[in-house]
Amino acid sequence: MGEAITKPVAVVTGGAGFIGSHLVDVLVERGFAVRVVDDLSGGHRSNLAHHPSDAVTVIEKDIRTLEPGDAAFAGARYVFHLAGIGDIVPSIEKPTQYMDVNVQGTVRVLECARAAGVDKLVYAASSSCYGLAATPTREDHPIQPMYPYALSKYQGEQAVMHWHKVYGLPVNAICIFNAYGPRVRTTGVYGAVFGVFLRQKLAGKPFTVVGDGTQTRDFIYVRDVAEAFVAAALTPISGERFNVGAGAPQSINRLVEILGGEVVYVPKRPGEPDITHADIAKITTQLGWKPTVPFEQGVANMLADIERWRDAPLWEPASIAKATQTWFRYMGEA
């Protein structure tokens, strides 16, 4: 596909997206020829434009259409499966689509990886599968998906581990907590706090803080997440889930303090945890991975790239209330 024959090949599904594009960066730096399989519904070619064409090939394709023997997987040593639908609130409105893409799409990728005889498939799992979890949260914590997005990501992970058990496919799962960093999604749906806040800062509008802002999130910088995926691929260990977070939760109020600006408060959403906190002992011990980017530095990096959010949706209390009506309707009963 145009890449140098001497380079090992890695396939990254969803590689034009937020985390996927940073993973592509790391793989190219490591000497891989990378094939990106992405339907570009949530990612952008511009996220990969800085790479030469002989290093990165973009294959525009919906993962649900993949079949064993697809040329994108031919000769690949590693498959990193990050493609999927990642917005939480809309999953309550479109559960069928989420299950179709995040579960059935994953099965399609698994079959392609199995047919290609890859050395390892690494799956992007979600910490949302833990639900309202005890903290710090270990990998063996009981599973309690609170909304269809979380359920779909967990069932995708179950399929990955099933293919390992039944077919002997070498796999690992990276369970991502609250990833942030440059290129974080700016989609038209209400979602990730950084995308919301950075657009508000550009517009000189107050930050819409959910609840009282004392809730904390285990924010992990995207470059550190990408390095965790590579570590999970290169290890001889297989069939494991590894939590990836900073292990140092930060409050939303602290984020606002760093960003600087006025605040307006919007109602807390039922079913959301007051704290997310990854126990990262397993990955630090078994894979030698550890977070390297302090929260303040990561936020500073995003502020340096703030113009990227100029065309993102501008959210205000009224539009947030409308966008989350379904959430309150169903999650209030959960």
List, by residue number, the catalytic residues: 149
Tokens representing residue 127 in the block: 């910490």
Other Cβ atoms closer than 10 A to 14: 27
CA distance 209 to 155: 31
| Contacts with 211 (C-beta within 8 Å, 6 or more apart), sequence order | 265, 267, 268
CA distance 59 to 11: 10
- Containing 80, the helix (H) or strand (E) segment is strand 76-81
CA distance 233 to 168: 15
CA distance 149 to 166: 26
CA distance 183 to 27: 17
CA distance 30 to 266: 44
Query: Residue written as tokens 């599904």?
Result: 13
As a whole number of Å, the CA-based R_g of the chain is: 19
Ramachandran bin of 209, using left for φ above 0, alpha for ψ from -120 to 50, beta for the remaining angles: beta
CA distance 10 to 73: 8
Distance in angstroms between the alpha carbons of the first and the last residue of the chain:
49
